[in-house]
Chain A
Amino acid sequence: MKKVLPVLVLAAIGILLILTVAEMPAFGDSNAPAHRGVMEKYLRDSAIDTGAINTIAAIILDYRAYDTLGEATVLFVAVLAVTATLYGGEHHA
Chain B
Amino acid sequence: MGVSIMHDLILEIVNRLLLPFIQLFGMYILIHGHLSPGGGFSGGAVIGASLILYSLTFRFAKVKHRMDHDTSVFFEAAGALIYVAVGFVGLLFGFNFLTNRGVFPLGVPGQLWSGGMILVITLALGAKVSGTILSLFQELLEGGSDEHGTP
Contacts and interface: CB of A to CB of B under 8 A. Distances in A.
Determine whether A and B are in direct contact in the complex, meaning some CB atoms lie less than 8 angstroms apart.
yes
Interface stretch (B9-17, B55-63, B102-110): B102-110
Interface in B89-131: 97-98, 100-101, 106-110, 114-118, 121-122, 125, 128-129
Given A62-B100, A69-B87, A79 B37 contact: no
B150 A87 contact: yes
A68 B143 CA distance: 29
Contacts of A50: 100-101, 106, 115-116, 118
A72 B144 contact: no
A79 B76 contact: yes
A49 B139 contact: no
B76 A57 contact: no
The number of chain A residues touching the other chain, given as a range, is 20 to 34
Interface residues of B, number: 48
A85 B139 CA distance: 11
Given A65-B121, A66-B98, A79-B132, A54 B143 contact: no
Contacts of B151: 83, 87
B118 A57 contact: yes
A6 B39 CA distance: 41
- Of A47, A51, A53, A62, chain B has the most CB atoms within 10 Å of the CB of A51
Given A79-B135, A83-B139, A86-B143, A52 B118 contact: yes
B37 A76 contact: no
Interface of B: 33-40, 69, 72-73, 76-77, 79-80, 83-84, 87, 97-98, 100-101, 106-110, 114-118, 121-122, 125, 128-129, 132, 135-136, 139-140, 142-144, 146, 150-151
Interface of A: 47-54, 56-58, 60-62, 65-66, 68-69, 72-73, 75-76, 78-79, 82-83, 85-89, 91-92
Given A56-B37, A68-B125, A76-B77, 20 more contacts: A47-B109, A48-B109, A51-B109, A51-B116, A53-B34, A54-B35, A57-B39, A57-B115, A57-B118, A60-B39, A61-B117, A69-B83, A69-B84, A76-B80, A76-B128, A79-B76, A82-B139, A83-B69, A83-B151, A87-B144
